[in-house]
């Protein structure tokens, strides 16, 4: 039976309005002003801008209409990485059990550290003090007995706060909170729940798991039913190497023409393969996910004999897999998302070119001229930036809006 009196040793630390806060840290003239990172699309907004309704993903024109004083700034992506890493280093000063889940947030388990630094609440207070004093950023922290509850608590603590959920008060704490604070509740799920009169976590907890499974699907319904009553047995795992590397792109509603598939999947393959090579990894299993209108998704996978990290090879395999998925669902006329991932990873030392260099019939072999070409592209990007070189079809397409450097921060591998 789930132990509601488990010790509250799990912390969730989440930097406040991270990207916008970094810009305000780098340029003092921006402090206290409504700013947004981006241009055509809002990538991140400061709390001052959020007060006007500006939020990430909003078109720039709409954000300017809501907040005429809004100032757009370009992103300092290397600074985001540097400062995010600096915060994680502070967390490691308190415990080795740190699970980084994004550039600006992480879980900690401090059960083995209390004899050195005091109770969890005191550790959270000291973390906040050090991050503010040494790095110049605000971090909100939630302290609880489960990962789910700690993450919810950190959201309640924002901005720049600390919330501790004591043992035995979990249900009382969760009950009045809006369902969108829960892991896995996005806009679509929130709307489905609202249509059934479910707006708070307490109301969600009162619904039977069977009803939720019928409404949201078996997996999502069972998961939310458990989390609504804080039934979460997941542990904090110290960072290790990723078991897979992936990327996805939301497309709106598009007809899956061969041209769209080629460009979108080349873009995703470039992002995935670049990250694989940067980590000196390659993978044998390629998976493509296609999402149709209505959020129904299908996946297709292929395991090849030799591990791959070549961009063009991955793109070609991804196009084949996406084509197979679409051929199996001829009634679907539009897609909304494509995703590519590579798993079954192995170390990839520097490869020797395998002769002959002709590409015909050789696209799945790792030691081809493609690998050498990719390394040259990687070297150019390392020196001049990611946007310095890329696929012409991708660069000239309308699939942009979010810089790849920003995407890479969000999808950083452990």
Q: Parallel, antiparallel, or unpaired: how do β-strands 71-73 and 35-38 relate? A: parallel
Neighbours of 169 (CB within 10 A): 13
Q: Which of 277, 375, 359 is nearest to 316 (CA)?
A: 359
CA-CA distance, 339 to 321, in Å (whole number)?
A: 11
| pLDDT tens, residue order, the chain (414 aa) | 344 455 789 999 999 999 999 999 999 999 999 999 988 889 899 999 999 999 988 899 999 999 999 999 988 888 998 999 999 999 999 999 999 988 899 999 999 999 999 999 999 999 999 999 999 999 999 999 999 999 999 999 999 999 999 999 999 999 999 999 998 788 888 999 999 999 999 999 999 999 998 888 888 899 999 999 999 999 998 865 567 888 888 888 899 999 999 999 999 999 999 888 888 888 989 999 999 987 688 999 988 888 888 888 899 999 999 999 999 999 998 998 999 999 988 887 654 444 444 444 444 555 556 766 777 777 777 766 656 566 655 555 555 555 655 555 555 544
| Gap between the terminal Cα atoms of the chain | 33
pLDDT score at 92:
95
Closest listed residue to residue 94, CA positions, set 73, 63, 122: 122
- H or E stretch covering 346: strand 335-347
Would residue 48 show up in a list of annotated catalytic residues for this protein?
A: no
The DSSP H or E segment spanning 142 is strand 139-144
Distance CA 96, CA 81 (A): 20
* Cβ partners under 8 Å of residue 173, min gap 6: 149, 153, 165
Residues in a beta bridge with 312: none
Q: Annotated catalytic residue: which of 23, 48, 105, 316?
A: 105
Give φ, ψ of 299 to 5 degrees.
Answer: -125, 150
**Sign of the Cα pseudo-torsion (282, 288, 289, 293, in order):** positive
Please report, for residues 31, 175, 363, the alpha-carbon distance to residue 353 in angstroms, rounded to integers and kept in the order given: 53, 61, 13
Let me know: does 320 contact 250? Beta carbons within 8 Å.
no
User: DSSP assignment, residue 21?
Assistant: H
Distance separating alpha carbons of residues 353 and 143, to the nearest angstrom: 52
Q: What is the pTM of this model?
A: 0.70
CA pseudo-torsion sign 213, 215, 220, 222: negative
Output DSSP code: residue 295: S
- Tokens 């209108």 belong to 293
């Amino acid at each position: 039976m789930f132990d509601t009196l488990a010790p509250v040793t799990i912390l969730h630390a989440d930097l406040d309005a991270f990207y916008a806060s970094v810009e305000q840290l780098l340029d003092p003239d921006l402090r206290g002003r409504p700013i947004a990172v981006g241009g055509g699309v809002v990538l991140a907004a400061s709390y001052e801008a959020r007060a006007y309704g500006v939020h990430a993903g909003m078109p720039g024109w709409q954000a300017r209409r809501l907040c005429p004083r809004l100032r757009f700034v370009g992103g300092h992506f290397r600074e985001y990485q540097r400062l995010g890493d600096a915060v994680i280093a502070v967390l490691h000063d308190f415990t080795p059990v740190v699970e980084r889940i994004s550039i600006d947030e992480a879980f900690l388990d401090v059960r083995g550290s209390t004899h050195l630094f005091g109770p969890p609440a005191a550790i959270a207070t000291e973390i906040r003090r050090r991050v503010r004093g040494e790095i110049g950023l605000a971090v909100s922290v939630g302290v609880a007995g489960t990962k789910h509850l700690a993450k919810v608590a950190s959201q309640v603590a924002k901005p720049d706060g600390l919330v501790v959920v004591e043992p035995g008060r979990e249900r009382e704490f969760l009950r009045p909170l809006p369902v969108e604070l829960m892991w896995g509740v996005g806009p679509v799920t929130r709307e489905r729940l609202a249509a059934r009169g479910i707006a708070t976590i307490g109301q969600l907890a009162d619904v039977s798991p069977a009803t939720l499974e019928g409404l949201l699907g078996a997996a999502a319904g069972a998961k939310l039913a458990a989390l609504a009553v804080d039934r979460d047995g997941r542990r904090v795992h110290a960072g290790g190497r990723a078991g897979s590397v992936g990327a996805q792109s939301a497309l709106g509603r598009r007809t899956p023409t061969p041209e769209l598939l080629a460009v979108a999947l080349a873009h995703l393959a470039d992002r995935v393969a670049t990250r694989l090579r940067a980590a000196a990894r390659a993978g044998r299993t390629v998976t493509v996910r296609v999402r149709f209108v209505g959020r129904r998704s299908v996946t297709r996978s292929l395991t090849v004999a030799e591990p791959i990290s070549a961009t063009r090879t991955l793109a070609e395999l991804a196009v084949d897999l996406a084509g197979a998925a679409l051929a199996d669902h001829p009634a679907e006329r539009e897609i909304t998302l494509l995703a590519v991932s590579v798993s079954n990873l192995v170390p990839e030392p520097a490869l020797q070119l395998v002769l002959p260099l002709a590409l015909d019939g050789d696209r799945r072999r790792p030691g081809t001229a493609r690998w050498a070409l990719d390394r040259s592209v990687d070297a150019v990007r390392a020196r001049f930036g990611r946007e310095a070189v890329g696929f012409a079809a991708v660069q000239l397409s309308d699939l942009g809006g979010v810089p790849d450097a920003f995407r890479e921060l969000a999808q950083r591998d452990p």
